[in-house]
Amino acid sequence: MIAATIALAPFENLSGDPNEEYFVQGFVEDVATELSRFGTIEVLYPRAVLAFIRARTSDADSGPIADHILRGSIRRAGDVIRVAVQLLGSGTGRQLWADRYDATANDLLAVQDEIAARIAGALASRVDDARLAVARRTPLASLEVYDCWLRGLDCLHKGTVEADAEARGFFERALEIDPTYARAYTGLSLSHFNEWSCQAWEHWDEKERLAYDYALRAAKLDDNDATVQVVLARILLYRRHFDEAAHHVDRALALNPNDTDALVHAALCRAYLGDGESALALANKATRLNPAFPDWYLAPAGLALFVLGRDAEAKELGLRVPSSMFVDWAAYCAAVCALTGNMTDARTYLERFLTCFRERITFGRTPEPGEPLRWLLHVNPFRHEQAAERLARGLRAAGLESDPDEGRPEAAVHPAGLEAARATFRRDGTFWTLAFDDLAVQLTNQKGFHDLVRLLARPCAEIHCLELADRSAESDGHDPVLDERAQREIQARVRDLQQEIDDADASNDIGRAERAREELDQIVELLSSALGLHGRSRGLGNAAERARSAVTWRIRSAIKKIASAHPRLGRHLENAVRTGTFCAYVPETSIDWAV
């Protein structure tokens, strides 16, 4: 999808030496080549522009040659060569952007490609900025496909659940216009990825699936878009598919090494993959190519410095990123401050992180001991344990509470020490005994264990999140909230509605999807009213959302804790436990649990 057409006029040779003409025009051809890597920009090369100008008549009705015109000049003065460029609106002649670049004659060959790349990267960014400014003033129904992409991406940068939902409206509008537009699916993937990786824990399974599915769909539609490739790389990275993620990062950089947003995402991926030097180089290149970069561009560079162990530099750079921009960024700042001995700032940033964690992750609930640290290590997918261990060490030094099972020898024991032959998940006094696949462990109590034991006791049965949320840890679990017939009817209708929503979304039938969502919301509200969560008389649709959020997070947190002590059991539960409005334990093969 072409966003703009740019005509590159032949650059002026201001050196006064005709022998320099070959260099001047060769340079502008290099700029055109770098610009052509951006699939959203159509480039008219200087020779084509000259031919067009010569062929034009004086007809007053003849339209502009392109949306924008890039003019430039090169001047040699002694050993210094100066390249000056300016971007003009074709219809108005108004200057949209200008810059200049200097190099010595001896270094020119070495930096020529760099200057061409900087011009191309900055130019592409300004073209998008100019178009976005117009799109913001345009009604949704009148937007073109690429405008919808820009508006949606602008919403995603706000980093809130509400903005993610607004972004999806723009991407869905783009697909109404062009169902084959790959970037719209990329945007949908990013919107769900934002919530899956850092915000909407109550929709964990759904968001993970949608983020991955939309990214794959985008890649199938357009395998030559660097943005599509780098988004798929990030999702694979968070799934811990490290080799696949690295492949798609390489592919994105090969397709377009000058797209600054793609460079920043690639830098983040390379940092998590353990290649700090490459990550830092990519992040620095992004800020060179786009000097007007947004604050979030600095975060991958700070992470790369942290991975390299350059904590003082990571601290200096990291503190320039607004700590509220990402849920976990204040935690990074706390860790690097502690690792560099600045304990006052470390405690300040740790408190900021915990406040944000309570607001956006546990929704007001006080976290359990070790819960914030487990969350941080989960949403930061380091390939190598050393980086994760350094992050944890810095946070503990800053005052973050550790998992009570961390370092406890009895957290994992040999089969001879406990009954490990039978699958076991039960509470024994102050500890929980977990046995699976000939290994038994003991762990301290966690709320999510009570949810898991109820799911394991009823394999393949769907239990509503309100039923789990309304039970205390001491509940005997025998009195049903709804009779079995009502539960079966509600579950069947919810499944039908969810399938209808998926089908409608797949066929871009927004009206049908909205009707199904409205009915689903009504069912949840009715169910909430029937259950009377904790006797509250307020709007209970909100209570159902809070219940789903709380149950999903504590189950997932419990599974992560189990995986750290018993990896095989952790993997089994990760694959077999489903969370959401209805939760269930659905193993591939039947297992007789002692609970």
Same domain, 82 and 102: yes
**pLDDT tens digit sequence for 272-301:** 999 999 999 999 988 887 777 888 889 999
Same domain, 421 and 546: yes
pLDDT confidence tier of residue 386, bands split at 50, 70 and 90? very high
Same domain, 528 and 492: yes
Report which of residues 355 and 139 the model is more confident about. Answer: 355
Domain CATH code at residue 93? 3.40.50.10610
CA–chain centroid gap for 177, Å, is: 26
Compute the average pLDDT of residues 105-119.
65
Pick from 95-104, 515-524, 547-556, 562-571: least confident: 515-524
Among residues 340, 364, 343, which one has the least CA distance to residue 354?
364
Compute the average pLDDT of residues 483-493.
62
Compute the average pLDDT of residues 117-134.
68
Q: What distance in Å separates the CA atoms of residue 313 and residue 329, rounded to the nearest whole number?
A: 15
* Whether the predicted pLDDT of 202 surpasses 80: no
Residue at a domain's end among 161, 187, 222:
222
- Tell me whether residue 593 is in a domain: no
Among residues 301, 363, 284, 297, which one has the least CA distance to residue 327?
363
Report which of residues 160 and 470 the model is more confident about. Answer: 160
Compute the average pLDDT of residues 329-358.
94
* Whether the predicted pLDDT of 405 surpasses 50: yes
Same domain, 204 and 172: yes
Report which of residues 576 and 98 the model is more confident about. Answer: 576
Same domain, 78 and 10: yes
Same domain, 233 and 269: yes
DSSP annotation string for 353-421 = HHHHHHHHTSTTPPPPTTHHHHHHHHHS--SSHHHHHHHHHHHHHHTPPPPTTTT-GGGEE-GGGS--S
Among residues 293, 294, 355, which one has the least CA distance to residue 324?
355
pLDDT at residue 457, as a whole number: 92
- Tell me what percent of the residues of the chain surpass a pLDDT of 70: 73
pLDDT at residue 420, as a whole number: 46
| Residue labelled with tokens 């060569």 | 81
- Tell me whether residue 287 is in a domain: yes
- Tell me whether residue 466 is in a domain: yes
**pLDDT tens digit sequence for 218-273:** 989 888 888 889 989 998 998 889 999 999 999 999 888 878 888 999 999 999 99
Is 65 exposed, middle or buried (CB count within 10 Å of its CB: 0-12, 13-18, 19+)?
middle
Domain CATH code at residue 175? 1.25.40
Residue at a domain's end among 161, 196, 222:
222
Same domain, 515 and 419: yes
Residue at a domain's end among 222, 253, 282:
222
pLDDT at residue 90, as a whole number: 74
Same domain, 231 and 203: no
**pTM score:** 0.61
Q: What distance in Å separates the CA atoms of residue 509 and residue 532, rounded to the nearest whole number?
A: 35
pLDDT at residue 52, as a whole number: 62
pLDDT at residue 459, as a whole number: 92
pLDDT confidence tier of residue 390, bands split at 50, 70 and 90? very high
Counting the structural domains of the chain, the total is 5
Same domain, 131 and 163: no
pLDDT confidence tier of residue 573, bands split at 50, 70 and 90? very high
Same domain, 121 and 250: no
**pLDDT tens digit sequence for 428-472:** 877 888 999 888 888 888 888 999 999 999 999 988 888 887 643
Domain of residue 56, residue span:
4-135
Pick from 58-67, 148-157, 339-348, 379-388: least confident: 58-67
Counting Cα atoms < 13 Å in the Cβ hemisphere of 524 gives: 24
**pLDDT tens digit sequence for 375-384:** 898 889 999 9
Q: Which residues of 156-178 are buried (b: 16+ CB within 10 A; e: fewer)?
A: beebeeebbebbbbbbbbbbeee
